[in-house]
Copies of this chain bind each other. A is one copy, B any other.
Amino acid sequence: MGRQSRRCRFAWVRSSLSEVLADHDLASLGDSYVNFVDSLVVSDRAGKPAGTKVKGSVLAEALRRAGLREFLPSRMSKHALADAAESLIVYAWLEGRISLEESIAIVEKEKDLVAGLSRLLSIAKDRITFP
A residues adjacent to B (C-beta < 8 A): 9-11, 23, 25-33, 35-36, 39-40, 43-44, 46-52, 90, 94, 100
Cross-chain contact B9 with A25 (CB below 8 angstroms): no
CB distance from A61 to the nearest CB of B (A): 21
A52 cross-chain contacts in B, Cβ below 8 A: 32
Contact A50-B36, Cβ < 8 Å, known A10-B43, A10-B44, A44-B10: no
B26 touching A49, Cβ below 8 Å: yes
Copies per assembly: 2
Contacts of A39 in B (CB 8 A): 28-29, 32-33
Secondary structure of the A contact surface, majority rule: helix
A28→B86 CA distance, assembly (Å)? 21
B10–A49 touching, CB < 8 Å? yes
**CB–CB A90/B25 < 8 A:** no
Given contacts A9-B44, A10-B44, A10-B46, contact A51 B36 (CB under 8 A): no
